């Protein structure tokens, strides 16, 4: 990821009303992945281990408004790490992994509108982390997605499935091919 991409996202990304990415158990197709109106298309990182992170600031207005780091394989296999507005009116870290059907896991409540999110690939597994300061990271989830033959792509999403849209700012964007040493030591 280069500085031009970060500067563009630093201006904010608008999530259109009534849209988000989720694949319900009823078999309906995923609503759609990131497109030009919502952010950069998911891009394929180089092969091997990596860490991809960003500071995410969300102008929360409606339930489930969120800024998202998106991990995309195909419309039946993907994941997202979200900074999302809960039904209780609290910003929180949420993760979703889709292997045909989407799950949904709430992690922790955040006091404020800004958090850092990170996606790391370690061999054929992925780790989600969140940080309040961009330095000390808390593990949110460690998982695999069944299809390791298709390369994963990473990107951004802004969602507002119950509202009239929200603005999300992604900045302090970092990409490194450095392998994450320990999932739980805060690094």
Indicate whether 78 pLDDT > 70. yes
Run of H or E including 38? none
pLDDT digits (tens, 9 = 90+) for 105-147: 999 999 999 999 999 999 989 999 999 999 999 999 999 987 6
Give this prediction's pTM.
Answer: 0.80
Instruction: Check: CB of residue 144 under 8 Å from CB of residue 138.
Output: no
What are the domain boundaries of the chain? 3-176
Q: What is the dihedral of CA 49, 116, 15, 5, to 10 degrees?
A: -60
Give me 152's structure tokens: 């994963």
Confidence of residue 9 (pLDDT cuts 50, 70, 90): very low
Indicate whether 166 pLDDT > 80. yes
Confidence of residue 14 (pLDDT cuts 50, 70, 90): low
pLDDT digits (tens, 9 = 90+) for 147-163: 667 788 999 999 999 99
Q: What is the mean pLDDT of the chain?
A: 82
| Domain range 3-176, CATH architecture | Sandwich (2.60)
From the list 66, 92, 61, the residue with the least C-alpha distance to 163 is 61
Distance CA 8, CA 156 (A): 12
Indicate whether 24 pLDDT > 60. no
Burial profile 114-134: b = 16 or more Cβ within 10 angstroms, e = fewer: bbbbbbbbbeeebbbbbbeee
Indicate whether 23 pLDDT > 70. no
Q: What is the pLDDT of residue 27?
A: 43
Q: What is the pLDDT of residue 30?
A: 39
Task: Give the number of other Cβ atoms within 10 Å of residue 61's Cβ.
Answer: 14
Indicate whether 18 pLDDT > 60. no
Distance CA 85, CA 57 (A): 12
Instruction: Check: CB of residue 67 under 8 Å from CB of residue 168.
Output: yes
Q: What is the pLDDT of residue 13?
A: 52
Run of H or E including 3? helix 3-10
Q: What share of the chain is helix, strand, coil (3-state, %, to 5)?
A: 5, 50, 50
Instruction: Check: CB of residue 156 under 8 Å from CB of residue 69.
Output: yes
| Phi, psi (rounded to 5 degrees) for 10 | -60, -20
Higher-scoring residue by pLDDT: 140, 27: 140
Higher-scoring residue by pLDDT: 41, 170: 170
Task: Give the number of other Cβ atoms within 10 Å of residue 143's Cβ.
Answer: 15
């Amino acid at each position: 990821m280069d500085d031009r991409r970060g500067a563009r996202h630093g201006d904010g990304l608008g999530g259109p009303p009534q849209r988000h990415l989720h694949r319900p158990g009823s078999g309906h197709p995923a609503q759609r992945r990131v497109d030009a109106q919502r952010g950069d298309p998911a891009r394929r990182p180089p092969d091997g281990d990596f860490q991809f992170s960003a500071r995410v600031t969300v102008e929360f207005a409606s339930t489930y408004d969120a800024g998202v780091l998106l991990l995309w394989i195909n419309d039946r296999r993907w994941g997202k790490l979200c900074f999302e507005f809960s039904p209780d009116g609290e910003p929180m870290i949420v993760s979703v992994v889709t292997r045909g059907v989407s799950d949904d896991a709430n992690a922790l409540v955040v006091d404020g509108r800004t958090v850092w999110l990170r996606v790391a690939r370690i061999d054929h597994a992925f780790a989600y982390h969140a940080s309040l300061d961009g330095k000390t990271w808390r593990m949110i989830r460690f998982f695999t997605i069944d299809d390791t033959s298709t390369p994963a792509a990473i990107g951004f999403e802004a969602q507002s499935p119950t509202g009239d849209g929200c603005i999300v700012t992604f900045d302090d964007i970092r990409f490194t091919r450095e392998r994450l040493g320990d999932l739980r030591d805060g690094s």
